[in-house]
Amino acid sequence: MSKKYAICYNPKIENASTITNKLKDLLLKNKLEYVLFDIDNPGRDCDFVFVVGGDGTILKAARYYSNYDIPIFGVNLGHLGFLSQAGANEIEKALGKILNGEFLVEDRMMLKSAKYKALNDFVIKGEFSSRASEFILEIDNKQVCNYFADGIIVSTPTGSTAYGMAAGGPVITPDVGVIVIVPICPHTFAARPIVISADSKIKIVGQNNQNYIVSADGQEVFSFSGSLEISKSEKPAKLALLGENDFYKILKNKLHWGISPERTL
């Protein structure tokens, strides 16, 4: 039985329509069946999805398609492209590898909170982002610490290279089964990021009937008062990766990680 492919693109990104049309032509050239979706109206009548856009588009696609165990392949038209596997000028080569089976599908852990999911992270802040707020962190029904901070990031390994890293958290390789909790600008030297088992249950307890704002992958926003529970999602995201995928190479190429500055005389 032949695969049915989908192209899910972000029309708000420059050149997305042009690249999508190029991908359509290549699929037709190879006599392959496909369907076309806007990222704001995705569908699941497919077996494999090409996602055309930036990292935000891929994150949104991952949250949706993870529900149906459908792998996605990112074609980057954005700024960083950390989650993508091919640029606009690499589509034909990438498609050839995919059709030849020269790729792997990697399960990436996701987090859940109520009806929301995140591939990168949940970020919790007070209702008034201009001031610090108080948060109590509980892990597996045990109180761990009391933060007075601008916010808290609860991240997957995939998300460790996003907001968590910018806030001083560790870089975690995607295959490690952990959750990272990073306070944002804590008002104490004693508060540090913590790495815990992926099977742990996290509860963020608010204080004084304050309202808190939560963002999932920086895209879906909701609020709570009282407490918020976060845990590993039963469904992982499925990222299609080309054979030469190398996490450390991506760190160096995308984030210039571990590269010493050039010496000047």
| Residue 15 falls inside a structural domain | yes
Give the CATH number, domain containing residue 216. 2.60.200.30
In a shared domain, residues 120 and 58: no
- Report the greatest alpha carbon distance in the chain: 64
Q: Which domain holds residue 159?
A: 111-232
Q: Which of 45, 47, 55, 217 is catalytic?
A: 55
Sequence-distant (6+) residues with CB within 8 A of 261 are none
* 25 shares its domain with 93: yes
Does some domain include residue 260? no
SS3 content of the chain, % helix, strand, coil (to 5): 20, 40, 40
Is the pTM here over 0.85, yes or no? yes
| Tens-digit pLDDT string for the chain (265 aa) | 568 999 999 999 888 999 999 999 999 999 999 999 999 999 999 999 999 998 999 999 999 999 999 999 999 886 666 788 888 788 899 999 999 989 999 999 999 999 999 999 999 999 876 788 999 999 999 999 999 999 999 999 999 999 999 999 999 999 999 999 999 999 888 889 999 999 999 999 998 888 999 999 999 999 999 999 999 999 999 999 986 667 777 777 767 777 766 665 5
Tell me, yes or no, whether 83 lies in a domain.
yes
25 is catalytic: no
Q: 208 and 141, same structural domain?
A: yes
Classify burial at 226, counting beta carbons within 10 Å of its beta carbon; exposed 0-12, middle 13-18, buried 19 or more: exposed
Q: Are residues 197 and 242 both part of a single domain?
A: no
Number of compact structural domains in the chain: 2
The DSSP H or E segment spanning 232 is strand 227-232
CA distance linking residue 88 with residue 76, whole number of Å: 7
202 and 221 assigned to the same domain: yes
> What is the chain's length?
265
Burial class (CB in 10 A: 0-12, 13-18, 19+), 183: buried
